[in-house]
Amino acid sequence: MRVRKCYEVSSITSVFALHYVSLYGWARGRGAPILVSACDYCCAFAAIIWASIYGEAALVRSETFHIYRLQSRGRRRIEEKMRPKIFLFGDSITEESFGDGGWGACLAHHFCRTVDVVLRGYSGYNTRWALRVLEKVFPAVEETPLAVTVFFGANDASLPDRGSAFQHVPLLEYKQNLHDIVSFIKVFFSLSLFLINGFKRWPTTLVLLITPPPIDEDGRLRFPYGDNPSGLPERTNEAASAYAKECIAVAGECGVPVVDIWTRMQQLPDWPKVCLRDGLHLTQSGNKIVFEEVVERLRKEGLSLETLPADLPLLSEIDPRDPLKAFQI
């Protein structure tokens, strides 16, 4: 992106000097965006207000803000519109989803001509850790995605007195963390939260919560995490049930859709062997269930092959007598 000029904003007074820059630019015609480098929250906030008032497209940069893009309403887009994206955000069950037969790989194949499916899976993570990395996972300069799946809880539900205790997150904190993750993605602007996180991300993005899967305790004993001198599983299906219920509750409170994998998988006969390879992580059959449930939920929310246009002309749309006609803008 070509930047017209960079202005260092070290005080509130210097923000008002931008007023004259704006008037000058208004008289001579608008060019590329202005980069505003702000030293603190107050200066950055003032610079953003300046950009909104005077109609400048701006990049606001500071040490605490990282980089935030702002475009005033009615302005032309700064860059070409890219293919829409669906982000998959979660723990190891998401990280592994691009493997052979994984639900993420199947989703990418399903939407191969319409959407880029972007993997953001982090093995072992719980919602507490996920909150700490949101800024890096979802930078504000990213184009608004169509949807984000949020698939956490399997590690949060680790028992606090067993081998994976360091991953445990108490149930009420897990619920609040999910609320905060959804709010981070969805809310455009909150004055009370501005000094903490600045502008929120994407109010139009669909957030799809996915409950943790059921746990096969015998499978966890056969495939323990590290040493297990107690001889007891570090996760139980009873605990997973409680976290799944809270995930569903958060979806209702936030007004976002949810996929209840915990219930869906247990509807199958012999689900521990069919769906789980080690009592926790998914088999290909388990991945297939997640894929099918996610696609169906997205379809109900208006995101499907029928509603999303192909990025470029399909072969069936190209006239053999005049092929190049299909590529005319």
Task: Single out the catalytic residue among 92, 183, 285, 304.
Answer: 92
Cβ neighbour number for residue 36 with a 10 Å cutoff:
28
200 touches 189 (CB < 8 A): yes
Active site residue 322: no
Bridge partner list, 37:
8, 61
Active site residue 311: no
Active site residue 22: no
Task: Single out the catalytic residue among 40, 278, 285, 304.
Answer: 278
DSSP annotation string for 67-91: EEEE--TTPPPSSPPPPPEEEEEES
Alpha-carbon gap, residue 119 to 85, rounded angstroms: 10
Task: Single out the catalytic residue among 91, 156, 158, 281.
Answer: 281
Cβ neighbour number for residue 307 with a 10 Å cutoff:
11
Which amino acid is residue 320, in one-letter code?
A: P
Q: Which residues are catalytic?
A: 92, 278, 281
